[in-house]
Structure formats: C-alpha cells, structure tokens
Chains A and B, each alone.
Chain A
Amino acid sequence: MSHRSLHFAEFAEKCKELGVELVTGKEKAISQKLISQVQRSEFVIFAALPPAISNRFFVLYGNKCREANKTNLSTIASAQTCITYSTDLIAGSGSAVIVTNTLEERQATSLPPELIVFCRNPKVHHNVSDFLAAGRARLSPGSTLTIVSGPSRTADIEQMLIKGVHGPKTVSVYVEEGAEN
C-alpha cells in the first residue's frame, strides 16, 4: 500500500470513531450521493464550493439552495445542510481542513445542523504537524482555516459526551477519487 492509502485507511478508521460518515467513490457515485442529499434536505447552503459543482444544483434545485456569499445571515441560519469543500484531510485525527474567505462562508459552515464536506482527490496528511509543515495552510488576511474533527460536542454535563452543541450535529465527508483536478 502507498503512503496515501495507508493514511486514508487510518482516516477512515478515525472517522468511524468520531461518528463521521465517510463516502468514497468515483465522480458519478459521489455526484449521485450529493444530489440525493440536496433532494432530502429542506434547505442547503453552499460554502466555498467550486462553482462548477454548485452551479449544477442551482439549475435543478434552485428553490432550496443558496450560495453563502449571495445570501444573508437569517437564510444561512435557517438552512438544514451546508455543503463545503476541502482539499486536505488529516488521518490521525479524522479531520477535514476547511478554508473560508468570507464571514458568510464561516457562518454557513458553523450554523446548519448538518455539514457535508466534499473533496476531490484530497491530500491526506498523517497528522496536524505534517499538514502545517507541508505549507498548504495559507494563513492570509481575511481567511479562516479550520481543522474540523467530527461533530460539535460537549462533555460539560456530568462529563457525558453529547454531539451537536453550537456547530453541526452530523459531519459527512464525501471523497471523489480518480477524477482529474
């Protein structure tokens, strides 16, 4: 097995532990999966998703999809699902790296109860140090880089683990493999 697939196996294992739904597949399968999620959801916000991907949904489901940067806070707050994009995964902690460049994108990835992270041939790093050392963390003014490791959670009440506090209650990672970047 290559380093990448080794890391990916570890990532999958960690997702299971954190309760993160992980789906991998070719372009068509992942695309189908995304469509079914949009169909199922009451309202979907796209944040930092490449336009080539989000545009398809506007054509089909324009009445229940919005682009975070083209709407307002109350619409974002009322959405059930956010679909966002990641280019980097971290195996050891089951994390996806999400970069947002506007306040609205940051709100959209924080407020809805469901978060779906779409990745196309992501780079899989062993741990946070490797990720930061790879020079892929661009900390430029105006950006927010978040390493998300599973659903929002708390143990403040009698040290009982409960999911879904201020951030998403469920996190899914869809990995499209084999496509050309």
Chain B
Amino acid sequence: MVALLRSHHVRRIVKSKSMTTEEIGLDDYLERDGFEIVSTDLGERAIQLAGDKPAHIVAPAIHFTREDFARLFREKEGAQVSSDPEEITKVARTLLRAKFLRAEAAISGANLLIAETGTVVLVTNEGNGRLGPSIPGLYISVAGVEKIVRNTSDASSILELLARSATGQSLTVYTTFTTPPQVGADGHRQEFYLILIDNGRLSATKDFLAPALKCIRCGACLNTCPTFNCLGGHVFGDIYTGPMGILWTSITQGVDRANEFSDLCISCGLCSSVCPTEIPLAEIISDVKSRGMNHRGRRISEKLLTSVEKLDRATCLSPPLWNKLSSSSLASPVMPILGLDRRRRAPGVAHPLKFLDNLGTPDTTLIYFSDVFARYHNPAIAIHAKRVSNELGHNLYFPTSQVEAGMPYLSYGMVQSARRIAKKNIGLLWEYVNLGYRVVVTEPTALYILREVYPRISPSKEADAIASNSCSLGSLVLEAVDSGKCKLDKPSIGAKVFYHSPCHARAVEKTPYSQLLKLSGYAVTESDVTCCGMGGTFGYKKGALGYDLSMVVGKELFEQLKSFGEGIVTTDSSVCSIQMSDGAQKTSVHPLQLLKVMR
C-alpha cells in the first residue's frame, strides 16, 4: 500500500467505512509513514479523532454521547459547535467536505465484489462511499476474499438481507456498483487497485469456522446479544465484536485471542436465531470455547456445573438432608471454593420424578423429555405437565433412561461430552419417534437442544426426525385450541400475570405461553426483555464473569418485576425462574401451572 501510494505521490487519503482496513491496522500504519488518512463515516471520524476503536460494526461510535461528538470536533478540529446532533452533522459535513475535495486517493472497503463484471459494490447511508472515490486520481478497494460473489443475482439477495438486518431499512440509501476504471469527462482514467485480504479466511473454509464466512456484517447478532448490549464492543470483542466477533477474531487472529472474551457468550442462542444468513453462531462459539478448554483445562466451577445430573442423583438419595445442608449457614462459604458465587444457593432437590403413565399408542401418548429441573428439583412442573396432557386427552410417558439435555457442556465448550449425551438421548427418543410418538418438553432449553443442537453435533436422520417431532407442551395446547378441539378455562384467582419469555424459547419457536395465558383470560404483562442474564448456569459462577454480569444483564427485567406489584410471575424456564428470584425476590411458576384445558 505504501509503495503504491508513494508511487502516485499521494499524501492525503479519504477512507469510507471498512472493517477490513481496521482488521489489518491500515490507518495506524499509513499514519506512521506520514500519510494523512481521514475516516469519512461520521461515527468513524469521531472514533479517529478520539484515538479510539470502533465498538460496533454498523454503529462504530455507539458508545459516544452527543457531547462527546461535539467536544471532539471542538477540541480536535477547532470547530464552533453545540451538542445538537443536527448541528454536529452539519459541521462534520463541512469539515469533511474539504478533505474529500483535496484528497489524492480514496480507499474503501467493499460489501460485495461481483466476479462476472469486475464490480465493487458499496453500501452507505451517509454517501461517503459514493463521494470519496469520485474525486481523486487513485482509488483502492480493500476487501476480504469472502466478499466475492459470482454475479448480480447472487448480489441482490445479499443486499436486501443486509439492509433489513443491519438497520431495518428496505435498502441502504446508497447502493453503488462501481465498475472500474472510472474516467473523467476529458478521458483521463482513474487508477484502480483491488486488494484482496486472506488473513485466515481461506484456511477457515476447511475447518469448523467455514459457516462464518457467510457473514454479511449486518450486526443483527450484536443488536440481539444480551451481554453485548450491556458491555459494548470494547469489552466484548477486539476488531470484530459481539457474537460474530468471537467467530471473526478466531478467523483473523486465532481462537486463543477469541477465547479471551468468548466467556461473555452465555449461550442463549438468540444470535443464531436472528442471523439472516443462518450461521449457527451459538454452536460455532461452543467449538471455539472447546478449543480454549483444551489449552487451559477445565475450571472447578465448570467441572461442577457440567456434573449437575450426577450431583442431582446423589443428593436426591436424601432430599431433606441435602436441602438442610444447602440452605444452612455452612453453604455460602463453600460456594466460592467451588468457583460459584456465594450469593446463589444450590437449588433444593426433591425425590426424582418417577411417574410412569401408560405407554399407549402414538395417538394417546406423548413422550416427555424433562431435562434436570423437572426431574430432580421441581416435580411440580412434571405433575402439571401430566395434568395438562391428560386434559388434552393424552398420557404423558416418561422414559426414565433419558439423561440431561446437556446445555452446560455446550456453554463451557465441552462439545465431545455434549455429543455423547446427544447420542444417548437420540437413541432413546428415536425408538418412540420412529413409531410415531411426539416428544414434548417443559423446559425451553431442552427444546432448543433437540431442535437446534443435536442435529448439528450428532447429525443423523434420527436427530432430524426428533427435531421435527418435538415441541413444547404449550404449543401442543395452542394447536388444540386453535383447531377448536378444546378450550381454556378461565382462572378463578390471580388474574394478573407477568410473563418472561426465555431466550431459548425465542430462539426456536414463537412462545405459545403468552398467547395461552391471554386466551385463558389472564391480564398478561409480557416483558420485552430478551434475556434475564442467567445464561443457563453462567450466573452461578462467581465474580465479574458470572454472577455480576448476570445481574447487570438482568437489571431491566428486575426493575419491571419490582414495578409489576401484586400478581403471578411466570416463566417456562427454570433458570430464568432462579434468576428472577435472586435478582428481584419474586417467586415464579411454570405457565402450565396456570392453564386448565377443557374438552
């Protein structure tokens, strides 16, 4: 780049937004060599003036206030400007206009490169990507090799997805297709260079990171990620931030660098559910964590939290003894030794679930996949699941040889162990699904695992069949109500309900419970908070990367709960229920407990 710019006697350069040039540290490098390189995107210009780095791939200066913007333009550019955003924008237009007009070279990234025609496609809302390359005699586009598409029709679907997922627009303001070389009216040709960056991309095509190359940099995963929204990109990421940042840091800087912040992923799965190109982010992140685990070994808290079912089996031998121990004053000093937070309590246990309804025909019986909570800690969930199933006209059969669903193994990157569990449950459930039975769950995480995780970590036709024949018991009820086969009874007491929809429920199906509660006649307040912060067992861990972070993420939900006042609190996830109890001192029940089905 330096040789190229020098040979064209360039000193002043304008650049439009490009993550790829951030990735290779181009600005610093060129500045050290005496070039003036001006970022022309408003947010990136503020970042540049502050000597900071972007916090978000679409909104780089999302962490700056209007006062920060105004102060930067006043102090660094000597501008007279108030903190009114309209005025700041006007001043920035004037200041940057001068830079555009005297630039000797323009550098841009590329959203797409069309192979068939040799076209650079650039989308911008501000217009800098269209203006910059229209003025100087030299234009350089820097792009990752994954940006190459075959033809315009491949390009068109990506462009629409990009705008919709990035900013909710039907199309970005400027979609510019530049086919070099551009010429002046007098016939002089602008020189054009395309610089393609590999930096780990080609080797990623051959490993588990390959799906990440479909990333179109829309930022939807960042916007939905509960921990990213609390912490921002400076903590959660490097050049690339948030969920996609874990993947792209792995590609461009290696998994070790990514694992310095991959713990901030609490495995809620929302990123995978919003990705417009269907990258299974949550699962790839588990793989990244798993590689980190191989390096450093497992922490004591991780060993413990991935042994929940073994512990449950042991403690269930005498629930009164364990419950007394875990709630005694002796328990809280022990928690930190185990890597857990002393402000949490180990959940109480009950005699394990052992009801066995009759296994009738597929028409009359549902297969229950319980996961650990309903089985060992809160049998009330299972009892109500059985009641509601019976009211629907079904038996609920509980195959006792099933094991835990296995989410903690994925959260802590133990993909091999998760795969062993997957095989065991798939083998068991397939026997029933193969005969035409449907599998129902009460725990949203269990459904998330059956639908999204098992087919990926243990791919087989059996896993796929189980995935497509599993649903929450709630959606089965809703299906029956919708088809007119049954009705919901009006509750006699406690008509006011607060419902929190768990992240894993959102990640796999539209949650049925909010609608069911409304149809039952409850006055439902549904929280718009996407995540309670618990992250499965994440919030059990001690310190900043555990309990503290889980409480920060959950803050808004706790405030909503506190202002809800008298009424019933309900959520279908057991860990959300623990979090709401610890964070807002509200006891909650499973929504099935509030439903009564009439045939």
Q: Report how far A159 CA is from B219 CA in the complex, Å.
A: 14
The answer on a CB contact under 8 Å between A128 and B101 is: no
The answer on a CB contact under 8 Å between B177 and A144 is: yes
A-chain residues with CB within 8 Å of residue B64 when the two chains form the complex = 157
B-chain residues with CB within 8 Å of residue A156 when the two chains form the complex = 41-43, 46, 59-61
- Segment from A1-9, A25-33, A57-65, A135-143 that makes contact with B: A135-143
Q: Which of chain B's residues has its CB closest to A91's CB?
A: B170
The answer on a CB contact under 8 Å between B100 and A144 is: no
Q: Report how far A166 CA is from B96 CA in the complex, Å.
A: 8
Contacts A132-B155, A157-B66; A144 near B43 (Cβ below 8 A) = no
Chain A contributes a number of interface residues (CB within 8 A of B) equal to 56
B-chain residues with CB within 8 Å of residue A166 when the two chains form the complex = 40, 93, 96-97, 100, 126-128, 130-131
A-chain residues with CB within 8 Å of residue B163 when the two chains form the complex = 93
Rounded to whole Å, the gap between the CB of B396 and the closest CB of chain A is 48
Scan A53-79; emit 1 where CB is below 8 A from any B CB, else 0.
000000000000000111001100100
The answer on a CB contact under 8 Å between B182 and A147 is: no
The answer on a CB contact under 8 Å between A155 and B59 is: yes
Q: Which interface residue of B101, B118, B134 has the most chain A CB atoms within 10 A?
A: B134
Contacts A73-B135, A104-B184, A151-B173; A128 near B125 (Cβ below 8 A) = no
8 Å CB interface, B157-201 against A: 157, 159-160, 163, 167, 169-185, 190
Q: Report how far A148 CA is from B134 CA in the complex, Å.
A: 16
The answer on a CB contact under 8 Å between B100 and A139 is: no
The answer on a CB contact under 8 Å between B185 and A128 is: no
Q: Report how far A107 CA is from B170 CA in the complex, Å.
A: 25
A-chain residues with CB within 8 Å of residue B33 when the two chains form the complex = none
- Segment from B81-89, B233-241, B555-563, B568-576 that makes contact with A: B81-89
Q: Does A39 contact B (CB under 8 A)?
A: no
A-chain residues with CB within 8 Å of residue B177 when the two chains form the complex = 137, 139, 144-146
The answer on a CB contact under 8 Å between B179 and A128 is: no
**Which of A95, A104, A142, A145 is in CB contact (< 8 Å) with B171?**
A95
Q: Report how far A70 CA is from B159 CA in the complex, Å.
A: 34
Binding site for A on B (CB under 8 A): 40-43, 46, 59-62, 64-66, 69, 85-86, 88-90, 92-93, 96-97, 100-101, 114, 117-119, 125-128, 130-131, 134-135, 152-153, 155-157, 159-160, 163, 167, 169-185, 190
Binding site for B on A (CB under 8 A): 14, 68-70, 73-74, 77, 90, 92-95, 101-107, 110-111, 127-129, 131-133, 137, 139-160, 162, 164-168
